[in-house]
Amino acid sequence: MKAKILFVFFSLSNFVGMAQIPKTVDSLKVYLKKQKPDTTYVLALNEYAFLMVQEGNFEETNKTINQIESLSKKLNFGTGFYKAENMRGVVQYSQQKPEIAMKHFLKCNEIIKKYNLPKKIFQNSLNNIGIIYDQMGDRENATKYAMQLIDFQEKNHLEPLKTWPYDQIGGNLKHYKKPKEALAYYQKSLKIETDYNNLTGMAIAENNIGTINDDLNENQEAIKHYKLGLNYAEKENYKLLQTDLLTNLGLMHIKIKAYDTSENYLKKSEALCRQLNAISSLKIVCHNLGDLYFFQKNYSLSEKYYLEALEISKKLEDPEYLYSANQALAEYYEETKDFQKAYKYKVEADIAKDSTFKIETAKNTEDLLRKYETEKKEQEIELLNAKNEKSSLQNKALIAGGLLVFLLTGISVVFLINKNKLKRLEESQKLRNKIATDLHDEIGSTLSSIMLISDMAKKQEGSTQKMFTKINSDSKSVMESVDEIIWSISPMNDSLQGIILRLKEYAQPLADSKNIKFELKVEEGFDKIKLETEVRRNLYLIVKEAINNLMKHSYATEASVIFIQEKKNLCVKIIDNGKGFDNEQFTSRNGLKNMQTRASEINGKLSFESSKENGSSLSLTIPMA
């Protein structure tokens, strides 16, 4: 998982006279001792505060911010008030607290309006707010601000141009699998930053270009750009920036199987993240360290880092990383044959992946991106056809207005219908969750107690031993039945993936105990389909019964369960290489009648083939429509 550069350069030196202010910590300290407390002194304090942020010295930064604010009050210096509030946002951003940072940056806009501050400052403010939306994972609002900022700074010829909006558009193009188009935006950013010799911006641009090379599997080219970026970040002593580049270098060396080099980069990044308390960056490092140790089969360390990545993702409420961390743990536990945990984390991964907010945001952002690209082309046409375009645009506006009214009416109707459907679905889900919880908490716990007590009692000698043995046996049976009911009605298990993992968890221990080589295969991408509760329950019980019969009576050495799609049907085949039996035996001894009944309840078709010494095959076909 690539680390995305989160910390970008908040441009803080945009005024006449700033060129006279020193740029290093030591020279600034000398300068501040000699300079009289005027507006230039405030700007120098601001520069010093920013250098302290880069070093991760937030205590010194906060002390300096208070000085900026106090002196600005005495001087009634609006720019100083903006600088103080902006730097508070920078501090929170550096400590990866985007929601708090956003409050400070929005307050900056109020200060800009109150004191009628220059356009350059408003350019900074748009830049900062957009960056925070990006860090919060709000791609839609980040893209809106990126387009607004590009338009604002290009129309007003504000130099130097902010490069973040170009990076944001490039990031969107990259997200929608258009790496070459994205590369053009990243290269534009690199040129702007290089022209102004902004090492921090150059580091970010080199990182972004490296990610494109990574996506195109140009591994050595990606490593080259990441190393250049790291060199620039080290020259600036920008520690947080270094963590992201170190992480990406670690990831690239995992990719080329240079595991020792990868570990060196990732451990350096981990140490810096912990030093800076940069938990957002730490979660990515932990995930990559989990991958590294997983590939090396160092499972205890792999589990440790995956679990830490998950805990941080929960703390940050980050759906994208909640998905990746849960998915990694599901694959880890499947590899180590702990199918119960594998199933649990797979369900959590699917919940995170299927987030409605994420899907809608992605769609809205793609629309915005398309709109932005369209607007660019229209602007180019406008330059070539200035006179004719005016009337054409008026006609387009009238048509667009009519279409918009029509679309809004349609959208309103669809929204109301969908809203009612969603409400009913939510009510149904809540009810199913409540039933499952009640069964587990009330009946399940009681049966567990009965089973434990009877298990202890049956070991005692006496006339009641047989009775307690019977109670114990019945309790176990009821417990299993209740567990099946809870599983079947829980909304978390609506996908075919839930059935597959549960069957694997049931079958693998049985197969191991019988020395049967067991395999469960699923057609790629097919496990994500959703099934109705009744279909899911009967399908599971039929296949489970078939597996049970196979394990008990087939004397097979190999067996497999295969899920495939045939036209519009779900087809399950259970095959073994056992001794086989004739149809009469199968019908009377193995409960075919119950299986046939369950199949008919879900409009399914059940058939089997078997002959002595040639194994057997059972097929279940269910319509998916």
All structural domains of the chain, each given as residue ranges with its CATH number in brackets, are 494-623 (3.30.565.10)
Q: Average the pLDDT over 601-615 and give the result.
A: 84
Does the pLDDT of residue 426 top 90, yes or no?
A: no
Average per-residue pLDDT in the chain? 79
Check residue 11 and give its pLDDT. 39
Q: Tell me the per-residue pLDDT of 287-334, one tens digit each, with 9 for 90 and over.
A: 999 999 999 999 999 999 999 999 998 888 777 788 888 889 989 998
Mean pLDDT in residue range 79-100: 91
In this prediction, residue 568 carries a pLDDT of 82
Containing 517, the helix (H) or strand (E) segment is strand 517-522
pLDDT at position 19 over 50: no
Beta bridge partners of 113: none
At residue 296, the pLDDT reads 94
pLDDT digits (tens, 9 = 90+) for 145-201: 888 898 898 889 888 888 888 888 888 888 778 888 889 889 988 998 999 899 998
For residue 12, pLDDT over 50 is answered with: no
Closest of 236, 245, 202 to residue 53, by C-alpha: 236
In this structure, are residues 589 and 545 in contact, taking their beta carbons and an 8 Å threshold? no
Q: What is the pLDDT at residue 484?
A: 62
pLDDT band at residue 560 under the 50/70/90 scheme: very high
255 vs 407, more confident: 255
Q: Rounded CA gap, 269 and 285, in Å?
A: 7
Give CA–CA dist 185/201, Å, rounded: 14
pLDDT grade for 356, boundaries at 50, 70 and 90: very low
As beta bridge partners, residue 574 has 561, 618
Amino acid type, 502: R
- The mean per-residue pLDDT over the stretch 438-448 comes to 48
Dist CA 121 CA 127 (whole Å): 10
- Determine which helix (DSSP H) or strand (DSSP E) holds 616, and give its type and residue range: strand 616-623
The predicted model gives 574-597 an average pLDDT of 72
- For 469-503, write each residue's pLDDT tens digit: 666 665 666 666 666 665 555 555 567 777 888 88
pLDDT for residue 272: 94
- Chain length of the chain: 625
What pLDDT shows up at residue 44? 93
The pLDDT of residue 575: 92
Enter the pTM of the model. Answer: 0.49
Mean pLDDT of 505-532: 83
pLDDT above 90 for 394: no
pLDDT for the residue numbered 163: 87
Q: Per-residue pLDDT tens for 242-280?
A: 999 999 999 999 999 999 999 999 999 999 999 988 888
Name the strand (E) or helix (H) holding 340: helix 339-353
Pick from 253, 1, 11: nearest CA to 124:
11
pLDDT for residue 270: 96
Cα 594 to Cα 269: distance, rounded to the nearest angstrom: 59
